[in-house]
Structure 1
Amino acid sequence: MATSNYENDELVFATEETSISYLPVERKPWTLLVVDDDEEVHTVTRLALNGLELNGRRLSFRHAYTGEQACKILGESAEDIAVILLDVVMENDHAGLDVVRYLRDTLKHPEPRIILRTGQPGYAPEEDVIKQYDINDYKTKTELTRGRLTTSVITALRSYQQIMALNSSRLGLQKIIGSMSNLMEEHSVKSFCEGVIIQLSSLIGLNAEGVVCARAGSVLEREDDGIYVLGAAGDHAMHINQPVEQLNNPHLIESIHRCLRLKQHISEPEFTVLFLQRAGFEAAVFINMQGDIRAAEQELLEVFLSSVSIGYENVHLFHQLRNAAFRDWLTRLPNRNEFINTLERQRTIALSQTLALVDISHFSDINDGLGQDAGNDLLRAVALRLQSELSNNVFKARIGNDVFALLGPAELITPQIINQLFSVAFTAHEHTIPLSVSVGLCEIDTTSRDSLALLKSANIALNLAKRKHTENYVFYTADMEQKTTTQLELIRKLRADFADAKLELWFQPQVDLINEKVVGAEALLRWPDGDGGYISPAVFIPLAEYSGLIVEIGHWVIEEACRRICDLDRLGYGDLRIAVNISIPQFRDQQFEERVKSALAAHDCAPDKLELEITESVVMDEPQIVIDALSALKAHGVAIALDDFGTGFSSMSYLQRLPLDRLKVDRSFVKDVGPKNNPVLAETIVTLGNKLGLATIAEGVETREQASYMIKLGCEEAQGFLFARPMPFDDMVNFLAVRQTSH
């Protein structure tokens, strides 16, 4: 959509495209209904009143010859009739009074003035009739000479005009008061503008017809500064929310522009344009009238316009509040709230639609590197491209810092179309910036769940897309949510079990390859599933890292390892070391170094008996943080080992900078050693370790052949099922006792 559906909800009231040309118009005549059963009376009345004008308006005549005919005319057009010249006795003695009762009691029209004429006054006593039936005048036909008839009609017309002015004023005030008190309701601006026109017209004795115009930016929040019709009354309502140029009257358009430019009223022979101003808001109010406004009316209008301006100040505030609630302040796109509202409406009426969430990759790096102003310009550039390149049938929104949402027909929202949008670099703050994105897509139809559930589904797909290393998009499938729910349940259970001290620390002995004497052990975390089994570390360690729980679990493992080192020393195994794996979230913990030192001190543990193991992936993630922390702990006496060396993208420069004591040869290299294979990688790692003065330990040794060959390569230590499986601490103590006896 080129513009959001909430951009001017309260100001869109008509869709017709016909136009009005504002030319001098002959004022509407007064309608006089003559009701009499005598044809001559009709003729004489027309002759007597021929040429009569009041306030520039002539008379027009309608005729009825019976009470029944009069009632029919009144039933069809009573609101157009100003005065009724009514005979009392026609088809029966009370036919005229029946007409009065029908008009006043049945039709409920108090406005038309009635001059009762009778040739037989005794049939309707004058005083009773005037009191009971709201009769304007009561005359016998012989009394109504031409002069007296003219006087009576003029008096009745003036009375009618005053009543209509009061009614119009009352209606106008009702609309203004109602609009101001209900400003937060839909269409309140329309009602307010219509009320302004009606009230202005009533103040100067005209029919309500005109328009209220203002610059778009002051109320409509459009990007252009054109002048638009905010509201209208009468035949002009078809132009509401359209540019003033749609009025198709150059003279009128120029006068409205001149009114706003000069900030003053403009009076023309065919119309008047009034200037309205309040707290920075300016509007031109066009009234279709002829002649200048009288001095008394001018004073009244000035007071009225001053009060009306306060209402427009409230309108402007209302739009600001609405925009804050439903529009993104930076890009002017709909925000998350409006996107959810639109999604809720669309999902119930449209088939084969697609919801897509588009996340800009590494946007925080752009903000940090180029500054927030450049970042803001970039987001605006992305929004502009989405608006200009995608179909108007696609609803666009910004629902997060660097996340845009798209909703539309499936054929218009595809990974290929979205990627094409980002294939050309963006210009922001004089920088040319290429962007990559991750896209989560969710197909929806009328059977889909509510809008929040759909947004959640697309977000699940987006998170999976961010973790993919091949394609940058993922379509949501039902099993994804089940997997996510399962993961969240596991995280919840892991958090609860850790708090209840249900996690266990097991140990796998490490031996000297020459004499197979136990020299240490690797601490391995175990999580009981509650049914006699254990949940694999390959499952729960990533969840612990994802949830951030790994920091606290890792600290507990270090504390537990130090406690077991102290226990081993007390049991006579003080020469053994314990190795503990450290993850990158632990290094990011500012208290990591102090926590390790505190654990050593709390258990009076020799620092060199604790060995911290890191993997290549940890080093490559944030090398400087890792190197700084390990260097500080190495200086404190803690031993450092590099695990899984050779399985990642090794950097020799980092290897030389790390304060290492030991290299671990990964099991994937150990399983290939032997006379029939060419274990070049295992040999290279052992040789490299020896040249760097580092001890080497082989992981995953399961056969004697593997052990013997690692000895030939110069490897010093090993761990694996050949020597011992991971075991609880008490079992390891028993294992050590047996080994000590046998060796």
Structure 2
Amino acid sequence: MASEQDDFLFLDHDDDTQEAEVSGAAWDILVVDDDPEIHSVTTLALSGVEFWGRTLHFHHAYSGKEAIEKLIHNPEICVMLLDVVMETDDAGLTVVKRVRDELKNENVRIILRTGQPGHAPEEQVIRDYDINDYKMKTELTRSKLVTSMMTAVRSYRQICELEAQGLALASILDAIKGILGHNDIRTFSLAVVTQLAKILGSEPYGIVSGQLGNDKRIVVLGGTSQFQEFFGQGLEQLDNGRVIMQVQNCFDSGEHQQTDHDITVLLQGKNRSAAIYLELDIQPTDSQLQSMEIFLANVSIGLDNIKLFNELRDVAYKDPLTKLPNRACFTDKIAQYYKDQDSNLILILIDIAQFSDINNGLGQEVGNQLLLAVMHRLDQEFPQVELLARIGADVFAMLLPKIGFDERMFMDSLLIPYQVNEHVLSIHFRVGICDQDDFACNGLETLKLAYIALNQAKQGNQSVGWYTSDLEEKMAWKLGLIRQLRQDFEQRKLEVWYQPQLCFKTLEVTGCEALLRWPSDNGRYISPGIFVPLAENAGLIVDIGQWVLEQACEQQKKLAAMGKPISVAVNVSVPQFKVPNYAQSVKETLLEYDIEPHFIELEVTESVVMDEVGAVVETLTELQELGVEVAIDDFGTGFSSLSYLQKLPFSRLKIDRAFIKDIPDNDSGAIAELVISLGRHLGRKTIAEGVETQAQSDLLKKMGCDEVQGFMYAKPMPSHEFMAFLKSYKPKASD
């Protein structure tokens, strides 16, 4: 079974491809959505795509009930594109539960698509459906949809291959029951040849030979009836030059030898090796050759009279790359620590951030070597570890004594760069920790708690998250807030306020920033720092952002009619920027409201810029060509910005308030001055936000800052108050 991380993906869709005919063998895909247009768009977007020489063949269902019927009658379906909200808000999740629990279908890959992720918040899905990842609909382009579909199909194929291998292993177990029961090398050899012929689909006609002594003389160990009389004799005694040549080549090269008529394979034990020659009636398939390798790897133990069964039991509980306990083994073992009297342990999950980027960018071999390097680091740095395991593609788990555990020292140990082949990799990690006092009665439930802590770290952009019992209450609070936000937005209860931006030299109002406000029922306003991240997680931020842009356009028209044609700045979030053809949607909005593009400024944070530099540069260039002004907001709080700054088409740098609030009392002024100097050298204007005192204003003006925004000059205000402010405002030129 694949890990839960592979079971679900949240995707958007695009529509820029053309449909192609399905021919030959195909991967069966089930599209489940109550919107017929989604079916058409999805089919169109994925048509013509081939994975491993096979096209995609689509089945369609328009409700959860119909989806179950399709799966019952079409067991060959490998991937299901499933909408969350259909006949009910949780119809998709109900389908998931029925597929896994009632149909017992563990193979089909489920790609969960939703335009309303607030109906299935991440923590709740993780808790109830073993999901530990959450992707917004706006996160993925069409190319990433194709990539995700390929990943899902690959996962399905691997699961099916594992099942086939399981059947092959069962056959092998039956075979070796008889083989390993032989203590005599001759009967052992006959049994090996007989079973190998059966695996490869040929009649048994073969011989087993071994090398003995320092001169590595090849002698006959046994075989089918034609060769039994040569037992113990040198191979050269055979009256068969072809057998002699093939066996000799096999030993000399240390590799299998295969022709159209025969195959000679190497059987390597701990203390001796053997070559098995077998005539072929037909050419074996790849699947048969894979089964042969499994057979040889296991039966070779019989050369040294080592029982095989204990080895096979280990396979089910070990990670093949690291040889650490795998997820199944780990969950079994941690169940033993439930309500332990000492309760002196902590469960730690270590997630390698952006591991897929390393795999895609540097190759899977580098990714594998990095995993081994992380394993060795954990093993060496924490010798007191009670249990260490690899429980996911990029997730390690460990039990450590909590006495003496230092969170900072733990992270510092992980963050030391890793030498992987010729690469020196600086890796970031997300860590989730659960105290033994909070362990559940079974291992899987305990693991879920640790995953909730891990996701707290991911959502909060933190390195470490600890599980606490109040997380359930926090989740309920967030769900309630998301529901209220959705309702208030639909009822247009949100507000857009405006804060003036002034020229430092003349104190003329040169523009304003549109700021989103959410009034609560008690007359107060909920902080944007609370509701904006919730809007992003709930998939509302794109619609809200578009509404704010429309409000800004209406405000600009009022300003123009008043004779105050100043620009209006609008903040753009990461999910908005990832919407396909975002620049085109901005253009259409400006045309709809008949706004000159240079009167609208889009403020893009460094986090947006650094997320996908190539795509960002392309979109910003399109916006610039439209005539829209672009400002880099919160400048100085990101990373690696300077190396990309010259590539970005923008008109202003906005100095983050973090570098303003404490000047002139600390060194923050030096950073502000650096940003101002940088803007001047690049020929860009700079604006300081969050200016509240005369001392701050004087120092920033002295540094050469061009524009200013802050409470010292004017607070954010509703539209009608802002218009009244402009009518009565008379600038007093600064000295």
Structure with higher Rg: it is: 1
TM-score (structure 2 length as normaliser) = 0.50
TM-score (structure 1 length as normaliser) = 0.49
